[in-house]
Amino acid sequence: GAVVSQHPSRVICKSGTSVKIECRSLDFQATTMFWYRQFPKQSLMLMATSNEGSKATYEQGVEKDKFLINHASLTLSTLTVTSAHPEDSSFYICSAPAIGTDTQYFGPGTRLTVL
């Protein structure tokens, strides 16, 4: 089946620093990837759509200058949380549909803790 990886799985950083999270589709290509944020015992909240070769599109209320997205290739998207603050602590998950399908496969998630 389709496999999506994320790195790192966990990261702890100091307030004010930036953190980069990678999302890779391992056995398929994806022109689009999606980034989500999830709070405990809640559903996933879509943050932005990452588009290969063009700018990401952000959901309402998501700061594009704070959550920088780069879709560098057909198998890699990165999310950079800039100037992180404790309220940015969360579980970040990416997903990708294989080209030509709309079935999305999720990465294992990244737990971000900002001290």
Instruction: Please state, in angstroms and rounded to a whole number, the distance separating the CA atoms of residues 52 and 72.
Output: 6
Closest to another protein by CB, 87 or 102: 102
Residue in the block written with tokens 């602590």: 89
Site for another protein in 16-45 (CB under 8 A): 32, 34, 41-44
3-state secondary structure of 113: strand
Closest to another protein by CB, 81 or 92: 92
Among 14, 54, 100, 103, binds another protein (CB under 8 A): 103
Instruction: Please state, in angstroms and rounded to a whole number, the distance separating the CA atoms of residues 58 and 6.
Output: 20
Cβ neighbour number for residue 102 with a 10 Å cutoff: 7
Query: Do the Cβ atoms of 35 and 50 come closer than 8 Å?
Result: yes
Closest to another protein by CB, 18 or 57: 57
Name the residues that contact another protein, by CB under 8 A: 1, 4, 6, 32, 34, 41-44, 46, 49, 59-60, 91, 93, 95, 97, 102-109, 111
